[in-house]
Structure 1
Amino acid sequence: MPYHVSKGGSLESGEFKFVHYTSAESAMHIIKNRQVWMRNAQCMNDFMELEHGYECLIEAYNSDPEGKKFQAVIESAHPGLPKDIAQLFDSWMPHLRNSVFIACLSEHPPDEDNYGRLSMWRAYGGNQPVALVLNNTPFLSDTSLLGVFSTPVIYQEVEDFRAEFGKLASRLEQAKDILVQMGRDNLRNTLFELIKIYVLGTKHPGFSEEREWRVFYTPELGRSEHVESEIVSVKGVPQEVHKVPLRDIPEIDFHGAIPDLLHRVIIGPSDQQVVMGQTFKKLLTDAGCEDVDSKVHYSGIPLR
């Protein structure tokens, strides 16, 4: 996954942090309850993008030469495996459509620390928007025991996706001996996870300015004792949500406590900035944060 490897390197080098643009009310609940809700992908405002990722994958997998090369490499390592992978993924795609739970973050470069991003203020949070800027530590950790994973979104049409798929095939070809050593079942499971990430993390290029990363949880493929679920009503729609805890869980080496996780809060363009700023300072103090005056900032963008 060449693109994903490149993005992972940028994350590790500290080129950006993460940010969650949302309403002041939702941000308040995140901090007060020490948890983030993950909602069904069908409830997302751009839920059809899952279909876009699936269509890109099918086109690339069956393409010539990119897809044929990918299948040939896998076939030479373990005969019959490409067919098994296709059948496995087809059987699980209905579950991914209906039972994957997602939270969305955006890359946050240093030059957006003071004001945030205009397009995101316009798109998210309504009349009282807030941005929660997050440190990278939890995203650099192995979260497999938590059962929650993150992936950068790749913004491509089918043609560009085929080219990316071709790069992947070339890398696999160079590592053919390793593919053989992995064993059939291990390689099948690894490629299934890879294909799943491509489907969940591919969007139309028109969304590219969002610079999104998706945090996803697929309980049908493995539930976590640390992630609770509940039926709630969101804007009048009863639905199941899964709650990722924002606290340290030493037994699985997860570090997500708010004082360490939260870099800053940016109060978005609003006629209630002063009140919200004072309120979020109190919320952060109650959550155990220190020097809260330095953590709460006001966007000066004169958005109307």
Structure 2
Amino acid sequence: MDNIDFALLGIFAADDVNKRTELVLGQKKLIHYCSADTALKIIRNREIWLRNVRVMNDYMEVNHGFNLIRKSLQPPVDTVIETGMNEVKKALDVIHAGIADEAFSRFQTWSPYIQYETYVTCLSEHLDDEDEDGRLSMWRNYSSGQAGVGIVINTSMFARTDDALGVYSSPVTYLSDKALENSLMQVAQRIRVQAAFLSTVPREALIGHFFLLLRTISHCSKHPGFKEEREWRIFHTLGMDEPKILKLTSES
């Protein structure tokens, strides 16, 4: 990733950049809660599986992000999210007319893949005071009725922002409609402040980063009621992302 891409991430995905920096430089930990049987397979086979979002514990977790975007793309058109999206659109159109609409069009084209062909594995931020017992709510969700294991991992790999592994990562956001509007307003403001720089960036690069913003909202957003999970997701969308080292299998 070159300097232009890093600069664009700072404009379109500042929250992601800040949380990733805090995670890696702060040497924070992530934990994967699972059954003892799954933990044994991870260690023995030196691999971790990504599960299709259609068979996650709660499929509505993924639909939440899509519903947020639908509120800005479909009637009624007077939602607070619509207001935020329109501000981003107006800021971008000053630089290159029509690029926001083109990004929206691409998102709608790829939506079936993002919604039904995305594979994820979930991690949670692990606090120092959780070393002994973990987090009760996570044990309930992922190991209820069976022996549970929490695999605490080194987070240095999350400094990577390339696609060499065929997967991407992102912190999950827990935003209400109003909070998402505020976040989009901040994106619009950063676009305006950096307008001179952005006018030198190729049109396709701007479309790509706005598309990435929409994609991240769609499958890395959850209802604020889940915020205690402090989740991160590793994901791959079949048909859109190159598989690289990934293998596709059907498992029970």
Q: TM-score range by the shorter chain?
A: 0.7 to 0.9
1:224 matched residue in structure 2: 243
Shift of 1:91: 0.8
Q: Is the aligned partner of 1:45 residue 2:64?
A: no
Which structure's CA Rg is the greater one? Answer: 1
Q: Is the aligned partner of 1:109 residue 2:121?
A: no
Shift of 1:100: 0.5
Q: 2:118 aligns with which of 77, 92, 100?
A: 100
1:28 matched residue in structure 2: 40
Aligned residues: 233
1:17–1:109 Cα contact (<8 Å) kept? yes
Per residue, is there more strand in 1 or in 2? Answer: 1
Pick closer, same or farther for the CA change 1:186–1:154 going to 2, 3 Å: same
TM-score (norm. length: structure 1): 0.73
Indicate the percent of aligned positions where both proteins have the same amino acid: 33
1:52–1:202 Cα contact (<8 Å) kept? yes
- Hey, what's the Cα distance between the residues in 2 that align with 1:67 and 1:190? 14
- Hey, what's the Cα distance between the residues in 2 that align with 1:212 and 1:13? 18
Pick closer, same or farther for the CA change 1:59–1:226 going to 2, 3 Å: same
Secondary structure of the corresponding residue to residue 181 of structure 1: coil
Pick closer, same or farther for the CA change 1:232–1:64 going to 2, 3 Å: closer
Q: What residue identity is the alignment partner of 1:66?
A: G
Secondary structure of the corresponding residue to residue 210 of structure 2: helix
Q: Is the aligned partner of 1:122 residue 2:134?
A: no
- Hey, what's the Cα distance between the residues in 2 that align with 1:227 and 1:134? 20
Shift of 1:26: 0.3
Q: Is the aligned partner of 1:209 residue 2:228?
A: yes
Shift of 1:67: 2.2
Greater shift after overlay, 22-31 or 62-71? 62-71
2:32–2:151 Cα contact (<8 Å) kept? yes
Q: What residue identity is the alignment partner of 1:12?
A: V
2:69 matched residue in structure 1: 57
2:86 matched residue in structure 1: 68
1:297 matched residue in structure 2: none
Shift of 1:59: 3.2
Q: What residue identity is the alignment partner of 1:71?
A: K
1:60–1:162 Cα contact (<8 Å) kept? no
Q: What residue identity is the alignment partner of 2:129?
A: D
Shift of 1:36: 0.4
2:21 matched residue in structure 1: 9
Secondary structure of the corresponding residue to residue 123 of structure 2: strand
Deviations 1:146-197 (A, max 9, x none): 1211100000121211111111111121111222211111111121112111
Deviations 1:205-229 (A, max 9, x none): 1111111001101131122231111
Deviations 1:233-268 (A, max 9, x none): 1xxxxxxxxxxxxxxxxxxxxxxxxxxxxxxxxxxx
- Hey, what's the Cα distance between the residues in 1 that align with 2:67 and 2:160? 31
CA RMSD across the alignment: 1.7
- Hey, what's the Cα distance between the residues in 2 that align with 1:199 and 1:174? 26
- Hey, what's the Cα distance between the residues in 2 that align with 1:129 and 1:20? 11
List runs of 5+ in structure 1 lacking aligned partners: 234-304
Shift of 1:65: 4.2
Larger relative contact order (Cα-Cα within 8 Å, sequence gap ≥ 6)? 2
Q: What residue identity is the alignment partner of 1:50?
A: V
- Hey, what's the Cα distance between the residues in 2 that align with 1:15 and 1:37? 25
- Hey, what's the Cα distance between the residues in 2 that align with 1:164 and 1:106? 22
- Hey, what's the Cα distance between the residues in 2 that align with 1:221 and 1:178? 29
Shift of 1:58: 3.6
TM-score (norm. length: structure 2): 0.87
2:83–2:181 Cα contact (<8 Å) kept? no
List runs of 5+ in structure 2 lacking aligned partners: 1-12
Shift of 1:64: 5.9
Secondary structure of the corresponding residue to residue 156 of structure 1: coil
